[in-house]
């Protein structure tokens, strides 16, 4: 479907542009303004040029050290949760029931953690993990594991990661499930005729079909985990020490805690820039995938007759329309 060129379409987009520009461009200009200045309170500002940026990227200074440390922690956190959530989400999506009321029940339970306010997610795990009143902490300590997320760094990390897996694996699973459902039954039937193994079906049919949604899942999860704030803040408050202080927590500490506007603004800009780059990669890959899909779709009718012709002699396999 080719789009027609119509500059009047701008009138339709204008409301969105105004609303988002009001919320995005104006505040961002404030940030740029602050990032170049220093303040001694009383609303007196002094020109500081790129001073904050230099300090920010130099690990020997206090600001730079804190920023780079939290950035490192944040990247490590994102990698770990991606390594857990993506495979687990695929497995869960493959384990979804085929039909009946259990499908709806599973979908609703899966979506439940996604709809809980983030601070309540923190509260749930804060309570759940406490050795004195929480089931998890109590059981772990009862079977002889010395677990305390308030004082032990490793335990704090494990808690934050398990919490994120609990909170967001469902997103990956739901996306994969949507991808799996778009696979026509004929593909599976053809595979069965060829005597393909379970693993071969996964590798040759399911994984390629899930490519696109998996991409969305990975990038959404990367970016959301990269700006995580509320949940670890509620559970560990960034501690013990600074061990679970991620970039957003550090930024809020500097901006709203110490009211160090210049430093906070410089950090914000660098932070935003990183997100913007990742976002650009995401967007480019997505639009390319969209083009590929269109090409695929237009070439599909030619390829289609083969599997369906091969199917005819097998009446035992009836297509399950009810699944979709």
Partner 1 sequence: MHSIPGRRLIMGLFLVFLLLPIYWLVNMSFKTNAEIVSTMTLWPHTPTLQHYKRIFTDESWYSGYINSLEYVVLNTIISISVALPAAYAFSRYRFLGDKHLFFWLLSNRMAPAAVYALPFFNLYSAIGLFDTPWAVALAHCIFNVPLAVWILEGFVSGVPREIDETAFLDGYSFPRFFIKILVPLIASGIGVAAFFCFMFSWVELLLARTLTSVQAKPIAAIMTRTVSAAGMDWGLLAAAGVLTIIPGALVIWFVRNYIARGFALGRV
Site for partner 1 in 242-301 (CB under 8 A): 247-249, 251-252, 255-256, 261, 264-265, 268, 271-272, 275-276, 278-280, 282-283, 286-287, 290
Q: Is there binding between residue 92 and partner 1 (CB under 8 A)?
A: yes
Task: Choose the stretch contacting partner 1; rule: CB under 8 A; options: 7-15, 46-54, 294-302, 307-315.
Answer: 7-15
Q: What angle do CA 244, 248, 254 make, to 5 degrees?
A: 100
Q: Other CB atoms closer than 10 Å to residue 43's CB: what's the count?
A: 6
Nearer to partner 1, 4 or 60 (CB): 4
**Residues 116-155, interacting with partner 1 (CB under 8 A):** 116-120, 123-125, 127-128, 132-136, 138
Residues 6+ apart with CB under 8 A from 89: 169, 170, 171, 172, 173, 175, 176, 217
Which listed residue (56, 63, 81, 110) binds partner 1 by CB under 8 A? 110
Residues 6+ apart with CB under 8 A from 117: none
Which listed residue (64, 113, 239, 240) binds partner 1 by CB under 8 A? 113
Nearer to partner 1, 60 or 300 (CB): 300
Dist CA 203 CA 44 (whole Å):
63
Residues 6+ apart with CB under 8 A from 241: 153
**CA-CA distances (angstroms) from residue 174 to 85, 155, 183, 217, 250?**
12, 29, 15, 9, 32
Going residue by residue from 167 to 196, which x/- string records binding to partner 1, judged by CB under 8 A? --xxx--xx-xxxxxxx-x--x--------
Q: Shortest CA distance to 64 belongs to which of 273, 266, 276, 278?
A: 266
| Number of residues forming the site for partner 1 (CB under 8 A) | 111
Q: Shortest CA distance to 103 belongs to which of 53, 12, 40, 173?
A: 173
Nearer to partner 1, 48 or 268 (CB): 268
Q: What H or E segment, with its residue span, contains residue 8?
A: none
Q: How far is the CB of 94 from partner 1 (least distance, A)?
A: 5
Dist CA 215 CA 177 (whole Å):
14
Dist CA 21 CA 25 (whole Å):
5
Nearer to partner 1, 60 or 115 (CB): 115
For residues 236 and 216, the answer to whether their CB atoms sit within 8 Å is no
Going residue by residue from 40 to 79, which x/- string records binding to partner 1, judged by CB under 8 A? ----------------------------------------
Q: How far is the CB of 35 from partner 1 (least distance, A)?
A: 11
DSSP 60-118: TSHHHHHHHHHHHHHHHHHHHHHHHHHHHHHHHHHTS--SSHHHHHHHHHHHGGGGS-H
Q: How far is the CB of 190 from partner 1 (least distance, A)?
A: 11
Q: Is there binding between residue 161 and partner 1 (CB under 8 A)?
A: no
Which listed residue (35, 159, 206, 244) binds partner 1 by CB under 8 A? 206
Task: Choose the stretch contacting partner 1; rule: CB under 8 A; options: 23-31, 79-87, 147-155, 305-313.
Answer: 23-31
Nearer to partner 1, 181 or 306 (CB): 181
Going residue by residue from 209 to 238, which x/- string records binding to partner 1, judged by CB under 8 A? ---xx--x------x--xx-xx---x----
Q: Is there binding between residue 208 and partner 1 (CB under 8 A)?
A: no
């Amino acid at each position: 479907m080719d789009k027609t060129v119509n500059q009047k379409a701008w009138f339709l987009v204008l409301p969105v542009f105004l609303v988002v520009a009001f919320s995005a461009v104006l505040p961002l200009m404030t940030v740029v303004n602050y990032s170049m200045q220093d303040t001694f309170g009383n609303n007196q500002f002094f020109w500081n040029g790129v001073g904050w940026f230099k300090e920010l990227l130099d690990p020997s200074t206090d600001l730079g050290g804190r920023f780079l440390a939290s950035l490192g922690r944040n990247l490590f956190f994102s990698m770990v949760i991606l390594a857990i959530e993506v495979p687990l989400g695929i497995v869960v999506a493959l384990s979804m029931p085929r039909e009946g009321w259990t499908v709806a029940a599973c979908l609703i339970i899966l979506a439940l953690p996604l709809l809980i306010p983030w601070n309540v997610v923190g509260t749930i795990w804060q309570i759940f993990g406490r050795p004195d009143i929480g089931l998890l902490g109590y059981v772990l300590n009862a079977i002889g594991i010395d677990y305390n997320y308030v004082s032990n760094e490793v335990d704090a990390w494990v808690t934050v990661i398990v919490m994120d897996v609990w909170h967001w694996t469902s997103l990956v699973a739901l996306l994969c499930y949507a991808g799996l459902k778009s696979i026509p039954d004929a593909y599976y039937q053809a595979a069965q005729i060829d005597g393909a193994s379970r693993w071969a079906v996964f590798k040759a049919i399911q994984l390629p079909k899930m490519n696109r949604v998996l991409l969305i899942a990975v990038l959404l999860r990367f970016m959301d985990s990269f700006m995580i704030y509320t949940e670890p803040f509620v559970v560990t408050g960034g501690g013990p020490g600074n061990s679970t202080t991620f970039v957003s927590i550090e930024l809020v500490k500097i901006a709203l805690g110490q009211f160090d506007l210049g430093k906070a603004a410089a950090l914000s800009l660098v932070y935003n820039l990183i997100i913007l780059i990742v976002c650009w990669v995401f967007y480019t890959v997505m639009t390319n995938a969209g083009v590929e899909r269109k090409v695929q779709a237009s070439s599909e009718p030619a390829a289609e007759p083969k599997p369906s012709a091969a199917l005819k002699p097998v009446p035992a396999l009836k297509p399950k329309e009810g699944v979709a």
